[in-house]
Amino acid sequence: MANQLWLLRHGEAEPHDARPDDERRLTPRGEEQSRVAGAALAALGLTFQHIYTSPKARARDTARLAAEALGVEPAERPALAEGFDGAAALELLAGAEHQERVLIVGHNPDFAQVVYDLTGGRVDFKKGGVAGIRLDGTRGELIALLRPRELERISRSGR
């Protein structure tokens, strides 16, 4: 199982009434949040062996844009569309090697639930925000919680 799980919540998206939920796209701001998140993770020196994404358009696009700076092709996982929790996260990570780092791109409230299930921590997970969890079996430790404005600062320092 992977040693670290990183969660990236999709960037700002179109309103709920703009189109069917699965097809809602990122706004220009959401696209920028996605690029910034990838650049910030790269600036922190984080490398990922796998990037998994929800099949919903806003998450897929977030993963694609963030991955540009990370050099890993995202793979869709239907389980990330909704109802994703800590048990599902551990199941998804079961195939990863021990010292690998995995980035998952998806949605709230699922991601806040994953953090709670694995660490016991309650977090306010912003759109375009990132959380990092160090895993030891089925238990986790929250090692990072970064809001979009913090990611912006980090990405600028890496240029």
Query: Tens of pLDDT along 57-71?
Result: 999 999 999 999 999
Residue 31 sits in a domain whose CATH number is: 3.40.50.1240
pLDDT of 95 reads 78
Handedness of CA 13, 103, 144, 131 (dihedral sign): positive
Does residue 159 carry a pLDDT above 80?
A: no
User: How is residue 49 annotated by DSSP?
Assistant: S
**Overall domain count for the chain:** 1
Question: Any idea what the Cα angle at residue 56 is, between residues 123 and 64, rounded to 5°?
Answer: 85
At 21-62, the pLDDT tens digits run: 999 999 999 999 999 999 999 999 999 999 999 999 999 999
Q: How many CB atoms lie within 10 A of CB 21?
A: 14
Q: Distance between CA 73 and CA 31 in Å, rounded?
A: 17
> Residue 19 sits in which domain range?
4-157
Q: Which pair of tokens denotes residue 150?
A: 């913090």
Q: How far is CA 96 from CA 93, 100, 108, in A?
A: 5, 7, 24
At 3-21, the pLDDT tens digits run: 899 999 999 999 999 999 9
